Amino acid sequence: MTTCTGCSLLCEDIELVLKTGAISEAKNLCRKGQGHFQALFTERTKPMIDGKEVTLDQAIAKAAEILKNARTPLLYGWSNSTLEAQTVGINLAKKIGANIDDTSSFCEGLLMERILNGKIPTCTLDDVRNFADTSVFWGTDPSNSHPRHLSRFSYYPRGEKRQKSYEEERTCMVVDVRKSATAHLCSNYYFRVPPEGDAEFLESILTVLDGKIPKTGDKKRLIELGTILKKTEFGVIFPGQRMIYSMQDKMDLFEELVARLNEITTFKVIPMVGHYNMRGFNQLMLGQTGFINSVSFRGGAAGAATTHGPEQGVALAAKSSDAALIIGSDPLSALPFGTARALAHIPLIAIDPRRSLTTDAAQVVIPSALSGLEAGGTALRMDGTRISFEPITESERLSDEQILTRIMEAI
């Protein structure tokens, strides 16, 4: 049995039989996980400096040299690394006075910060399976992003208090700009919002909860939605990126909605985190710095966070850094043009199990083991549950933690 690190559900019930060059048998593995584990056999990275293959020792030494000589280094990625690797990474940032940030500054961070600071109530996915009668997927499509969410936790399982499950006891709702696969599944309760219209939709729900008629939107359907929310015994909202991008600086409204719902019944929130250990990085950072991401350790007392804010987020930090270490992430592919372009113009050190646009552009490439298959460790599921996993196959490749430790030692 192994754990899939393909998304933040961290499914622990995966049975795999590996043969040379292929997965010969797989049980409980979704299509996304199947793709994730295929990374074992395709386009693996090799140690490189300036496009030429070198020894691992040479690549690590060069990485240490670049970071040591950088005036404003940036350490970015982290959401696809274990807690153990993230801990070493934060220590590395403290040691060299670096800026450190993860993928959450571009996605769920805005909401995660409120969850971790206790401003928005949350629960575990096991609570969802056992008690939830209403799940609201808002700006997210778990059928494509977290394929086993509905089957393991939110819709189909017969939980402790939900033995009649989706047939009678669970309602699944989708609020989204697009009629996604999940929206098709619960089409009776699909609520379409226009682009950037989530805040207005949310205000309409607040109006309905106050017993008034909303000024905008389909009044009949909004009243129907309000009635279901009020009758819910244990509800959970799962916000995704499309909701967060749409809300932007109006997230206080969402906090207000959740507070209002909890005056009537019980409602919790679990952000639909994408990468398998984004939450882990956010919790570690909060514990050590008081901030979940986007922190600089430059110029202050040893180990003290000196500044935090958008300027320390990757989008701006990439433009003011003179070198960057990228771990388990492909920002040249995943981030906006301007940020990717800024990164492509500074010396990059890429630690990654597989080839990407970022490893192709990197001055130094350090191959790493694939978490969950070739390297063990610990991570936090999207709901904060700690999951530990052991490697199921031997590998000569070092784990992220081992690579970062060696870079630290060499600086």
Partner 1 sequence: MSVELKIVCFEDIFQYESGEKSRFSDEYRQFSAVILLDKQDMASLGVKDGDKVLVENEISKIVVAAKTSDDEPHAGLAFMINSVWSNQLLRDDLCNASVSGFKGITARVAPSQGEVTRIPEIVQRLRA
Interface positions with partner 1 (CB under 8 A): 6, 30-32, 34-36, 38-39, 42-43, 105-107, 109-110, 141, 143-145, 147, 177-180, 195-196, 241-242, 244-246, 248-249, 251, 294, 309-310, 313, 315-316, 330, 332-341, 344-345, 355-357, 360-361
Closest to 242 measured CA to CA, from 279, 310, 205, 195: 195
| Closer residue to partner 1 (CB): 6 or 226 | 6
318: its two tokens: 């990439």
Closest to 139 measured CA to CA, from 30, 234, 237, 253: 237
> Minimal distance in Å, beta carbon 249 to partner 1?
4
> Minimal distance in Å, beta carbon 276 to partner 1?
13
| Closer residue to partner 1 (CB): 178 or 212 | 178
What does the alpha-carbon distance between residue 351 and residue 340 come to, in Å, rounded to a whole number? 17
Q: 3-class DSSP state for residue 15?
A: strand
> Minimal distance in Å, beta carbon 114 to partner 1?
11
> Minimal distance in Å, beta carbon 299 to partner 1?
22
> Minimal distance in Å, beta carbon 354 to partner 1?
8
> Minimal distance in Å, beta carbon 13 to partner 1?
19
Closest to 76 measured CA to CA, from 274, 343, 272, 306: 343
| Closer residue to partner 1 (CB): 173 or 243 | 243
Please state the φ and ψ torsions of residue 163, each to the nearest 5 degrees.
Answer: -65, -30
Q: Could you tell me if 63 and 57 are in contact, meaning their C-beta atoms sit under 8 angstroms apart?
A: no
| Closer residue to partner 1 (CB): 226 or 367 | 367
| Closer residue to partner 1 (CB): 48 or 208 | 48
| Closer residue to partner 1 (CB): 287 or 309 | 309
| Closer residue to partner 1 (CB): 134 or 356 | 356
Q: Could you tell me if 82 and 399 are in contact, meaning their C-beta atoms sit under 8 angstroms apart?
A: yes
> Minimal distance in Å, beta carbon 405 to partner 1?
27
Q: 3-class DSSP state for residue 61?
A: helix
Instruction: List C-alpha distances in Å: 258 to 112, 209, 233, 335.
Output: 14, 11, 14, 30
SS3 of 220-263: the string is HHHHHHHHHHHHCCEEEEEECHHHHHHHHHHHHHHHHHHHHHHH
Strand runs (DSSP E) across 83-233, as ranges? 99-102, 134-138, 171-176, 190-192
